[in-house]
Amino acid sequence: MTGDAPVRADLAVAGGTILTPGGPVAATLLVDGGRVRETVPPGTPVRAAEVIDASGLHVMAGAIDLHVHFDVPGISFEDDFNAGTRGAAAGGVTFVVEHPFSDPPTTTAARYADKSARAAAGAVVDFGLWGALTGPSLREMAGQHALGAPGFKAFLPDNDMDFPPATEADLLTGMATAARLGARVLVHAEDRETIAVAETRLRARGRTDIAALLEARPPSAEIEAVRGVLEAARRTGCAVHLVHLSTPEAVDLVAQARAAGVDATCEVTAHHLLLDEDDLRRVGGFGVCAPPLRDAGRVAALWDRVRAGLVQAIVSDHCPYGRADKLKGSADVFACPFGIQSVQEYMPLVLSEALRRGVALTRIVPLFTEGPARVCGVDGSKGVLTPGMDADIVLLDLNRPWVISAERQQHAVERWSPYDGRACDVRVVRTLVRGRTVATGGDVVAPPGWGRFVPLSQEARCRS
């Protein structure tokens, strides 16, 4: 700095407390050309084209949601990515990675290319796309990877979509291919056989009530499937990511595999941390998901794993199904689509709950930022607010209580939430993507198309 000449920048975020990997720091954040330039001590004279007053607020890198489904059946495509990313922007999420379990499923390179282009037209935050690992599409993996897929989703249980579950042979072949490409395999791990047998037995006895879901998909179905996936990863040398783990036992298996040298990561969803079996009975179809919500003891034990650093990411697993379809679940749980929409609320809700439970900010914030950035390979440009990184910024008020109301707040095409009526202490005040404000006070102010598709594979990054 020369004398008292003001520091110049495009944008200054002044007066706030910046959440850095080392802890909270009072500083002014300077942005140039959509990227973080530097942080300077509070009170440093600054001449910026735009100054945002962050007094009393915390300044966090934007949340990265590794697990969203925007492109579900029943909503037109651009609407879907626009509505989904609008919710993300309002909720402090600046980057999402969408899953291929869509209509039609992203199982080929051609569909991957088509989706990335069409989704970009509607997006208001940046995004990546996972590829798919299914038996019929094993030969399409390399093509998806070349277009930007950092990994491939495999689904073990049966599903009612056109997304064939991976057999053991499919998984081994796909993992060998992914290992060769330097990509990761993501697995929805619940044992197909266990679930099919239990569901048939329950239906035969006329059991289609909400609680039947818990009996059809017991914890053991997840735990045993995770054990098998980790063994396959060890045999093939493939990096593996276990999606939406709902049991502490499964998280422990991943931690043991990591300790034994397997490149294994895992994520937990907001709903498995915030809701339990009693909530499922209370909210009916709006709480139906797979794996299902678990008992209160397992929820507490899952928080212990978060506190112990055994989880790499917290995600929404956002599924914007129609209200009527979700309400069906209250009469016939097996007719209810699996999934909860929460991309707009999951980050403030989990931060709020973490603070109530005494989890340190330095422990919980990285599970929304650096942790997921590393899993999907966007850590070179997103996930922390250090010089050169994208200026994806969220201003948070950690002590501004509000109550969730899907009807009044959501940007979803169909508004519903299992969290309706729940109190939250943490509020997202403002969200910026690459230095531009995309949402303020819950309103979205960026046009469709501001969000960019980010190719995440090493191969695609080297080319661009």
Chain positions contacting Zn ion, by CB under 5 A? 317
Q: How big is the CA angle at 12 (ends 6 and 15), to the nearest 5 degrees?
A: 95
**Which of residues 24 and 165 has its CB atom nearest to Zn ion in the complex?**
165
Closest CA to 199 of 209, 219, 213: 213
- The Cα 263–Cα 175 span in angstroms is 12
**Which of residues 157 and 435 has its CB atom nearest to Zn ion in the complex?**
157
CB of 419 to Zn ion, least distance (A): 18
**Which of residues 178 and 290 has its CB atom nearest to Zn ion in the complex?**
290
CB of 10 to Zn ion, least distance (A): 37
CB 437 within 8 A of CB 430: yes
Listed in sequence order, the residues at least 6 apart from 43 whose beta carbon sits closer than 8 Å to its beta carbon are none
- The Cα 71–Cα 66 span in angstroms is 15
CB of 443 to Zn ion, least distance (A): 28
Mode of pairing for the β-strands spanning 151-155 and 126-129: unpaired
CB of 318 to Zn ion, least distance (A): 8
CB of 182 to Zn ion, least distance (A): 24
- The Cα 46–Cα 9 span in angstroms is 8
- The Cα 313–Cα 306 span in angstroms is 9
**Which of residues 71 and 317 has its CB atom nearest to Zn ion in the complex?**
317
Listed in sequence order, the residues at least 6 apart from 149 whose beta carbon sits closer than 8 Å to its beta carbon are 112, 129, 130, 131, 141, 183, 456, 457
**Which of residues 317 and 345 has its CB atom nearest to Zn ion in the complex?**
317
CB of 384 to Zn ion, least distance (A): 26
N-to-C CA span, the chain? 35
Q: How big is the CA angle at 366 (ends 51 and 376), to the nearest 5 degrees?
A: 100
**Which of residues 251 and 439 has its CB atom nearest to Zn ion in the complex?**
251
Phi, psi angle pair for 309, to nearest 5°: 80, 25
CB of 317 to Zn ion, least distance (A): 4
Chain mean position to CA 254: 19
Residue type for position 440: T
CB of 113 to Zn ion, least distance (A): 22
**Which of residues 30 and 315 has its CB atom nearest to Zn ion in the complex?**
315
Q: Which two tokens stand for residue 98?
A: 């969408």
**Which of residues 39 and 344 has its CB atom nearest to Zn ion in the complex?**
344
- The Cα 435–Cα 29 span in angstroms is 11
